[in-house]
Amino acid sequence: MSARSASADRPGTGKSAPYHHGDLRRALTDAALDLIGERGPKGFTLTEVARRAGVSTAAPYRHFTDKSDLLATVAELGFQRLHDALRAAPEGRNGRDHVIELGRAYLRWALDHPDFYLVMFGAEVKGTDYPGLGRAAEAAFGVLLKAVEAARDSGTLPAKDARALAGSLWAVVHGAASLDIGGALRAHVEAPSEDLVVETITALTAP
């Protein structure tokens, strides 16, 4: 697993800068990510987020109704960034290669941003409760679904139900990422998770 966390995308030393110039929402989400990296999604309060961001304890409530609302916002941002990473994946020589590259891109992003990933899939916030989060998650999945449909239509993937196949591929990559982030995969398997993902996707998409 890459040692780089979500805080590496933020300026400075990785700790949240004090709120200034109207950046309260950004300061609070950055502070939440710092705390998630240290304690997990459940290991802090909004009061601690405010303290870490250098604002009053009442400040978070200007943007978030409660901690779940803050975590949903972090998760939505994570899916938006994952979407961008998937969109930037190389297309490869054909549609099947593109699907494999999407698997690589997903795994790499997850391992580079474990703080985001823990919130996106482990913070007990659901897209059904937060429509913006639901739309962002579906958009990220939609990149894979569109690639699977294109590869199927071009004949480089089996003529299967595209959404079911995309779901199977997503489950493989998500499982590998989760096990790698938690350290369980390396405890039992020597092969890098990326190699395992590519091998499994290749097998699942064999003509």
| Residue of 112, 94, 119 lying closest to 194 (CA atoms) | 112
| Architecture in CATH for domain 72-204 | Orthogonal Bundle (1.10)
Distance in angstroms (rounded) separating the CA atoms of residues 28 and 84: 22
Locate 154 and state its tokens. 């071009």
Residues 22-42: pLDDT tens digits? 588 899 999 999 999 999 888
pLDDT at 22: 57
Residues 158-201: pLDDT tens digits? 878 999 999 999 999 999 999 999 888 888 888 899 999 999 99
**Are residues 204 and 160 in contact, defined by beta-carbon separation less than 8 angstroms?**
no
Give residue for tokens 């700790």.
15
Residue 11 in this model has a pLDDT that exceeds 70:
no
By the 10 Å C-beta count (0-12 exposed, 13-18 middle, 19+ buried), 26 is classed as: middle
Domain regions of the chain by residue span: 6-67, 72-204
Superfamily of domain 6-67: Homeodomain-like (1.10.10.60)
Residue 17 in this model has a pLDDT that exceeds 60:
no
